[in-house]
């Protein structure tokens, strides 16, 4: 106002910056983590990584799910943003199959990665365990089996056989037993 001589005016400018806040739940990470400053119009990429025995359950960008993605890039940033990830434990199926005349407990089910799971094999009365197969390989006629540090789907199966007994018949002088000798009978038979 009321100019009475030469004057100058100058202005300086700085780019607008925004923050992206990255957080992760237990059992995984978002990299880079914490608060990152990004220039207006810039971009920022993130890597989502689950720990061993876990997988990415979901990734939220500004509170909205973008799915179980392992990478996400903010492009043309024009405001503050957030990214967060959640993780879930991997589970595997152990398929338990018992042949006739016996059981395996517990039956088929899901097991958490890294856990141990013990199975009990029981024959019905008059039967015994013939063999137990774990992932198709014989482990013998065992009555229990433990899967240690489970890291994949597995199978356990058992077969059973009837108990047999021998009857040895003999007679002294002046008489006979029929049938004479050794006879094999199944348990419960007459």
Q: Write out pLDDT tens, residues 96-142.
A: 999 999 999 999 999 999 999 999 999 999 999 999 999 999 999 99
| Contact call for residues 156 and 133 (beta carbons, < 8 A) | yes
Can the peptide bond before residue 184 be classed as cis, meaning omega within 30 degrees of 0?
no
- Confidence grade of residue 179 (pLDDT, cut at 50, 70, 90): confident
pLDDT in tens, 93-103: 999 999 999 99
User: In the prediction, which pLDDT does 91 show?
Assistant: 97
Name the pairing type of β-strands 81-89 and 54-61. antiparallel
* DSSP bridge pairs for 93: 110
User: In the prediction, which pLDDT does 175 show?
Assistant: 79
pLDDT in tens, 50-78: 999 999 999 999 999 999 999 999 999 99
Q: Distance (Å, rounded) from C-alpha 142 to C-alpha 120?
A: 9
What DSSP designation does 126 have? Answer: T
Q: Which residues contact 110 (CB under 8 A, 6 or more apart)?
A: 91, 92, 93
Q: Which two tokens stand for residue 127?
A: 């039967």
| Contact call for residues 159 and 99 (beta carbons, < 8 A) | yes
Q: How far is CA 138 from CA 27, 44, 81, 176, in A?
A: 36, 54, 56, 46
Task: State pTM to two decimals.
Answer: 0.75
* DSSP bridge pairs for 129: 160
- Confidence grade of residue 19 (pLDDT, cut at 50, 70, 90): very high
Q: Distance (Å, rounded) from C-alpha 133 to C-alpha 136?
A: 5
Name the pairing type of β-strands 181-186 and 34-39. unpaired
Can the peptide bond before residue 32 be classed as cis, meaning omega within 30 degrees of 0?
yes
User: In the prediction, which pLDDT does 154 show?
Assistant: 97
Mean pLDDT of the chain: 94
* DSSP bridge pairs for 112: 91
């Amino acid at each position: 106002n009321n100019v009475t001589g030469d004057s100058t005016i100058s202005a300086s400018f700085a780019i607008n910056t925004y923050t992206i806040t990255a957080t992760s739940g237990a059992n995984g990470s978002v990299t880079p983590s914490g608060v990152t400053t990004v220039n207006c119009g810039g971009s920022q990429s993130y890597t989502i990584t689950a720990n061993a025995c876990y997988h990415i359950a979901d990734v939220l960008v500004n509170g909205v799910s973008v799915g179980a993605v392992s990478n996400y890039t903010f492009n043309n940033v024009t405001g503050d943003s957030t990214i967060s990830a959640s993780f879930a434990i991997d589970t595997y199926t152990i398929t338990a199959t018992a042949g006739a005349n016996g059981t395996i407990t517990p039956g088929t089910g899901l097991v958490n990665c890294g856990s141990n799971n013990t199975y009990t094999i029981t024959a019905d009365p008059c039967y015994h365990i013939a063999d137990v197969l774990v992932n198709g390989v014989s482990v013998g006629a065992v009555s229990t089996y433990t899967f240690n540090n489970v890291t994949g789907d597995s199978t356990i199966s058992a077969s059973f056989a009837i108990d047999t007994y021998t009857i040895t018949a003999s007679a002294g002088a002046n008489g006979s037993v029929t049938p004479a000798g050794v006879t094999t009978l199944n348990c419960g038979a007459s």
